[in-house]
Amino acid sequence: MDKVGKVIIIGIGNLLLMDEGIGIHVINELEKHKLPENVDIYDGGTGGFNLIDMMHGAGNIIFIDAVDTRKAPCTITTFKPEDVRSIYPRKKYSLHDTDLLEVIKMAELLDNPPEIEIVGIQPKTINYGITPSKELRDAMPDIINTVLSRIEEVCSVHKLARERS
């Protein structure tokens, strides 16, 4: 698979904190679907900067994560890193405070950095528990449809690019 054609989907979050782990729950759900052969899916957990090593060799990356956009619970917002206000640099005492935008910023150092977008899901409840809130469980079909349509669109752009070349 050439690099340009590789699409990597990475769900992130903490599975022990209900809706915080929604990205992983989406990945588990995606495993039940037949995806195009140029698409890989990964459970990125709370890997911080180690997520960069999942990003090698991709033309496109779609992250799925719980994101506080101050909207209603379950709202799905698809955005690119450049759509978000810069938060660098900031004080840090712990590597455990690394957030996704910092990981993405660091990934710009990779050779041929990938195109990145984020499917952000507004959480309802973040508390101790290994299942998401009922609201997010009910919203799962919509979330999956959004992710699948993003995959379809990214893959069709690749197909078009290949046909033109």
Partner 1 sequence: MHDFNVDIEHITRVEGHGNVVIDVKAGEIRELRLDIVESPRFFEAMALGRTYKEVAHITSRICGICAVTHTTTSIKAIESALDFAPSAQTIKLRKLLLNAEFIQSHILHVYFLTAPDFFRVGSVFGMIKDNKETVLRGMRLKSLANELCALVGGRHIHPITLKIGCFSKNPERKDLIAFKEKIIKARPEIEKTVEFFKNLKTPKFERETEYISLTCPDEYALYDGNIKSSDNGEIKPADYLDRVKEFMVRHSTAKHAKANRDSYMVGALARFNNNYKHLHPRAKEVAEEIGLKHPCYNPYMNNIAQVVETVHCFEDSISLIDNLLSNGLQDEKAELTPKAGRGVGATEAPRGTLYHEHKLDDNGKITYGNYIIPTGQNLANIENDLRAMVPGILYKEKDDIILDIEMLVRAYDPCISCATHLMKVEFVNG
5, 6, 11, 13: which one contacts partner 1 (CB under 8 A)? Answer: 13
Number of residues that bind partner 1 (CB under 8 A): 54
Q: What's the maximum distance between 2 C-alpha atoms anywhere in the chain?
A: 51
Backbone φ and ψ of 44, nearest 5°:
-90, -10
Residue 9 found at the interface with partner 1 (CB under 8 A): no
- Least distance from partner 1 to the Cβ atom of residue 75, Å: 12
Residues 89-118 that bind partner 1 (CB under 8 A): 89-102, 105-106, 109
Residue 12 found at the interface with partner 1 (CB under 8 A): yes
Could you tell me which stretch among 1-9, 33-41, 128-136, 150-158 binds partner 1 (CB under 8 A)? 128-136
Alpha carbons 79 and 81: distance in angstroms, whole number? 7
From residue 19, alpha-carbon distances to 41, 96, 149, 151 in Å are 20, 19, 22, 23
53, 163, 164, 165: which one contacts partner 1 (CB under 8 A)? Answer: 53
141 CB burial (10 A radius; 0-12, 13-18, 19+): exposed
44, 59, 114, 132: which one contacts partner 1 (CB under 8 A)? Answer: 44
* Residue 47 structure tokens: 């890997």
Closest CA to 59 of 151, 165, 164, 163: 151
- Least distance from partner 1 to the Cβ atom of residue 88, Å: 5
Chain residues that interact with partner 1, rule: CB under 8 A = 12-17, 20, 43-54, 56, 65-69, 79, 82-85, 88-102, 105-106, 109, 120, 123, 126, 128-130
